[in-house]
Structure 1
Amino acid sequence: MSSTNNAGGRPPVLEVVRASLPRRYRAEARFKAYGIIALVLAISFLGLLLTTIIGNGYTAFQQTYMKLEFNLDAETVDPQGDASEASLRAGNYLAVVRNALYGLFPEVTSRSDRRALNSLVSTGAMFELQNMVLDDPSLVGQTIELWVPADDDADMYRKGRITTEVPESERRLSDKQLGWLDALADQGRLELKFNTALFTNGDSRDPELAGILGAVKGSFFMLLVTLGLSFPIGIAAAVYLEEFAPKNRWTDLIEVNINNLAAVPSIVFGLLGLAVFLNFFGMPRSAPLVGGLVLTLMTLPTIIIASRAALKAVPPSIREAALGMGASKMQTTFHHVVPLAMPGMLTGTIIGMAQALGETAPLLMIGMVAFIVDVPQGFTDPSTALPVQIFLWADSPERAFVERTSAAIMVLLGFLLAMNLLAVFLRRKFERRW
């Protein structure tokens, strides 16, 4: 047949194809450009988010401390004079802290000025003194030099968050207070040190004393409960549905419901936990045990779906070879199929745990939004979680809580990144190529 024009006068196919090539190439180029633009925008927004969080939060890892000389007068810190624990606890350590400040600024005599001077040091200073004296009663009667945390406003000034460029009426520190802080800095009594309190303290109303230890331990206890329940239950459910369950309308219904549960908003699981675990069973509110149970319900669909996908990825030849050698269905599944699918199962479990670690809404519904100072010591102690702690700090009006909120977000992102890297490591280490 000829490639010239046919009887109908239509151009040959080859010419039509050649004429359309430039248009197709332009369409492909536009598609690639759209993809690159989308990728650049996504990376830019992610970079902007991380830059904002790190820019606001990196200063929280340092805290302003004052070096003061404290006169632990026996009449003040040991009013009963017997050096007993009860007497040492009843000591007036606040007066000791104030006298240390008055000794540095003897010219400050008016009541209002002294009140303003006292506000520059944290209330945690007197508790540090009390703990030191309780640990070593021989300090009574001595004069010691100690670095104590400054107030959050003094800390903000030291970090440049409060400047003299702002009018005095619009900032939290007066010109006199800024002058006192400058004098302390000139004397070498004001320095930025690593903020250990951020990692060793529980929550506090005072930003300079607030820490994430209670929230981290609460999240740890919850993840232990979640892992201990969701992993064996999810793996068992996936193995049964994929390897043993008959294919009928009931198993189809179960599979559809599992897939639907994976898309249910997390707050619905919080409502379920509130209705069942708290109201019906009467379990303690704001406890890691209840939080772990709620997160177990939420992560089970994710683990089951990932585990079934891992089981499906095992080649049928493995099953056929095992059965051909005389192995039973149970032996084939647990001696050959499950070990080969375990890397994918572990990856799905870790991803589910990472999802549970970042959840806030279901925990709010079971009372874990309460202000809790004490660090939990068990699964039934009142506690909060790291995402909820971030939520609470973000709602606080103090400027110092802004940097601690960002610092807590950085810690949470670090945990999530570590868990995802662990999932990638396990998959690459144990995964087999077929």
Structure 2
Amino acid sequence: MNSTVAYVEERNPTDWQGDAMQKRIRKRYASERRFKALGLGAIVLSAGFLAFLLIVMVGNGLRGFTQTELPVEIDFPAMTGGASASQFEGNNGVANLQTLGLRDIVDASVQIQYGEQGTELFSNSGWQAVQSKILDNPEIIESKSIIYLPVESEIDVAYKGDGNATAEKKVAKLQDQLTTGFNTNFLTNSDATDPMQVGIWGALKGSLITMFITLLIAFPIGVLSALYLEEYAPKNRFTDLIEVSINNLAAVPSIIFGLLGLAVFLNLFGLPRSAALVGGLTLALMTMPVIVISGRNAVKAVPPSIREAALGIGASQMQVVFHHVLPLALPGILTGTIIGMARALGETAPLLMIGMRAFIATPPGGITEPATVLPVQIFLWSDEVNRGFVEKTSAAIIVLLVFLLTMNALAIYLRNRFETRW
């Protein structure tokens, strides 16, 4: 009798109070707890790696936004022979300073205060800092002034706690006079051979122009392609071949697009090398498949009832697509655009292939002038021997992350706005 009852309990799947069912339930709950623990562990591990990356980057990068300075007393009336402030006002100020021999004046003042070897303590760009101060306030040329000038790169690194023994001895002798100030040159200058002179403005401007060209070309062509393939194109082998080709293009390594840009835009069309125009065209080719795929999925997700209702009240096919389907699909399209543009912003390999690794000392003035972008600039600085470029590389990475977050935040805001609207 007991064996019959046990057999019935085992064979009856609805007997929730039976021993067999309770055992299975406990196993399910245990499996669920293990799965939750694994998921939580994965999140904690990912957050830990992200926190470690941010701490290291911010810790090293924040030092790149500062520079070590030494005070130099310059007797301008004695050094210039009594130059007046009016000579350096207006449009002729820079030209008059060039005839003044400002670099020799600064070197002489440094040697008077720090000895004959004093010029070795300072960056070669020190006289440029004096020039900027005179242009900002020409009246200092008529008096004796104390101006803080950036020190040599090794001393700067040593003062921040990561220098060699020779530089640390110099720092120990000058400890009471050394100060740290915000490095405005890092935000306004372009590339240079001296880490105390380098800046990210040239690369940042190049990235802005390149991303603008990429978005201007890839977004409208990608969206229109997605609309045509979903709403107008007939379903046959030719469209199936196009769909497979687009999916394959989205997975092609980025350096292949660099080779394509080199062969087509530079060798065939003869466009200028290292130009933001060529970089934008190359990245647009790489970004377009991602936008087409996300656009098709977003258009496909629009309920058929929307189309039927619009057609039922007399709308044309084009009105249905552009007045109803496209606005509803736009949030999904923007999501794909965010992913594609973020990928393009961080690309280096295709831009290296088209020559955007040149030494760019001045920001580009147009889309056809030589330019570089932030990822390439970071790559070039990371390969420098001078230790002063280490913190500049981390600082440039921070700028790149801020640029990426700003671009994504704007796109997410636009996406949410359309979602709220519809």
TM-score (norm 2): 0.88
> Which residue is equivalent to 1:353?
341
The equivalent position to 1:417 in structure 2, one of 389, 405, 412, is 405
Correspondence list, 1:16-415, <5 A: 16-72=20-76, 73-74=79-80, 88-89=97-98, 91-105=100-114, 108=115, 114-115=116-117, 117-130=118-131, 143-162=144-163, 170-173=164-167, 175=169, 177-183=170-176, 185=177, 190-415=178-403
Task: Give the C-alpha shift of residue 5 in structure 1.
Answer: 3.3
Q: Which amino acid aligns with 1:28?
A: E
Counterpart residue identity of residue 173, structure 1? A
Query: Residues 306, 9 of structure 1: CA spacing in aligned structure 2 closer, same or farther, 3 A cutoff?
Result: closer
C-alpha change, 1:252 and 1:433, in structure 2 (3 Å) is: farther
Provide the rounded CA distance (Å) in 1 between the counterparts of 2:54 and 2:94.
49
Shift of 1:215: 0.2
Measured after TM superposition, the shift of residue 404 of structure 1 is 1.0
2:315 aligned partner, one-letter code: A
CA contact (8 A) 1:56 1:403 kept: yes
1:172 Cα offset (Å): 4.3
Distance 1:200 1:6, change over 3 A: same
Tell me how large the CA RMSD over aligned residues is: 3.0
Structure-2 change in CA distance of 1:233 and 1:153 (3 Å) = same
Contact 1:154 1:181 in 2 (8 A): no
CA distance in 1, matches of 2:56, 2:126: 32
Q: CA deviation at 1:70?
A: 2.1
Moved more, 396-405 or 320-329: 396-405
| 1:77–1:93 contact (8 Å) kept in structure 2 | no
Distance 1:102 1:92 in 2: 16
Question: In proportion to residue count, which structure has more helix?
Answer: 2
Identity of aligned residues (%): 51
Per-residue CA deviation, residues 338-371 of structure 1 (Å, 9 max, x unaligned), is: 1222222233223322221111111111111111
Helix, strand or coil at the partner of 1:193: strand
Are the aligned partners of 2:258 and 2:354 in contact in 1 as well (CA < 8 Å)?
yes
TM-superposed CA distance for 1:134, in Å, is 7.5
1:104: how far off?
A: 2.0
Q: Structure 1 residue 131: deviation in Å? A: 5.6
Q: 1:336 to 1:84 in 2, by over 3 A?
A: closer
Cα 1:88/1:199, change in 2 over 3 Å:
closer
1:211 match: secondary structure: coil
Gap change, CA 1:3 and 1:27, over 3 Å in 2: farther
Between stretches 11-20 and 341-350, larger displacement belongs to 11-20
Deviates more, 1:127-136 or 1:62-71: 127-136
Amino acid at match of 1:33: A
Query: Who is 2:16 aligned against?
Result: none
Distance 1:84 1:297, change over 3 A: closer
Distance in 1 between residues matched to 2:142 and 2:272, nearest whole Å: 47
Helix, strand or coil for the counterpart of 2:67? strand
Q: Which runs of 5+ in 2 are unaligned?
A: 14-18, 85-91
TM-score by length of 1: 0.86
Measure, in 1, the Cα distance between the counterparts of 2:95 and 2:421.
Answer: 69
